[in-house]
Structure 1
Amino acid sequence: MSELHFRPMERADIGACSALFCTVFSEPPWNEDVSPEEAQRYFENCFSLASFRGFVAESGGRIVGLAAGFLKPWRMGMEFYLDEFCVAPSFQGKGIGSRLLDEIRTRLAEEGVFGAMLNTERAYPAYSFYLKNGFSDAGLSVLVREKQI
């Protein structure tokens, strides 16, 4: 594996991030049917928000991991909501995700962000990954999404 490089996501990364997103989330346990166009639209919309914070992990000039989230106010200051996080299947289990989270924490702390939160399913492998990386289970939460407004 080439040396890893971590940096903020840039608009020029949208194509590569969209492809990675589709690759990861089309596989088990997610098995989502996300088109490249939908993924690209998601990342383009992210960049339209001033509160967006995105990060990538690169190996050999290729994006192999990404994180997309948003700053949001909370009573203790600003916190980071991690909306999407993934690592290329062939790079999983090598510590890249943990290192990317560490990099995110460092960069956000420099901005004065006090904490981070996310939602995941307990049945997914991501749940134990996040627990291992310092997140805690805040209890039962239910997310309801309307199909259209």
Structure 2
Amino acid sequence: MIRRFEFKDLDKCTLLFCEVFNGEPWNDQWSDRKAKEYLLDFVGTPGFMGLVAIQDEEIIGFICGYRKKWWENDEFFVNEMCVHPKDQGQGIGSKMFESLERELLAEDIKTITLLTDRNVPAEKFYKKNGFSEINRIVVFLAKNIKE
């Protein structure tokens, strides 16, 4: 079952997020507290929407993002998406995107955007689900600020 994210889902999504992204291939080091703060930032963003995938009364996947104003048409930017490692490869992520697309079309949003790392399974997953690279976006920049 896939349904809209509710605030009561935050703790379970936080635990799932940590399990997924602290594992391969990401190998992050999220604490439960930091991950919850991170996800709370998205929940508080104007235009936020999330979906959760539920199996046997447990959240096994989620996708969250927000409606982004753009000159051409509004877009939906995916902040995070994950599926429990034991449930990956079973079509759950694809079903979440199908549900998301239906929800967005009902709100007259016809574009989904996202960022992901290169050469990880997620890149292949997104491309398999109809996403393509935007060639004019060629660089992602960051700067560490030193004291």
Question: Do the two structures share a fold, i.e. TM-score over 0.5?
Answer: yes
Deviates further, 109-118 or 15-24? 109-118
Match of 1:28 in 2: 24
**What is the TM-score when the length of structure 1 is the normalising length?**
0.91
Question: CA 1:62–1:114 in 2, change beyond 3 Å: closer, same or farther?
Answer: same
- The question of whether the paired residues in 2 share the 8 Å contact of 1:8 and 1:56 is answered with yes
Question: Match of 1:28, as an amino acid?
Answer: E
Match of 1:134 in 2: 130
SS of the equivalent of 2:74 reads strand
Q: Deviations over 1:89-119 (max 9, x none)?
A: 0100000000001000010111111210111
- The question of whether the paired residues in 2 share the 8 Å contact of 1:76 and 1:114 is answered with no
In the alignment, does 2:3 pair up with 1:7? yes
In the alignment, does 2:124 pair up with 1:143? no
SS of the equivalent of 1:13 reads helix
Match of 1:47 in 2: 43
Extract structure 1 runs of 4+ deviating beyond 4 A: none
Match of 1:58 in 2: 54
- The question of whether the paired residues in 1 share the 8 Å contact of 2:73 and 2:109 is answered with yes
Question: Match of 2:141, as an amino acid?
Answer: V
Fraction of identical pairs, as percent: 35
Instruction: List alignment gaps of at least 5 residues for structure 2.
Output: none
**What is the TM-score when the length of structure 2 is the normalising length?**
0.92
Match of 2:99 in 1: 103
Deviates further, 138-147 or 98-107? 138-147
Match of 1:83 in 2: 79
1:136 Cα deviation from its structure 2 partner? 0.5
- The question of whether the paired residues in 1 share the 8 Å contact of 2:42 and 2:79 is answered with no
Match of 2:34 in 1: 38
Question: Match of 1:89, as an amino acid?
Answer: P
Instruction: List alignment gaps of at least 5 residues for structure 1.
Output: none
Match of 1:120 in 2: 116
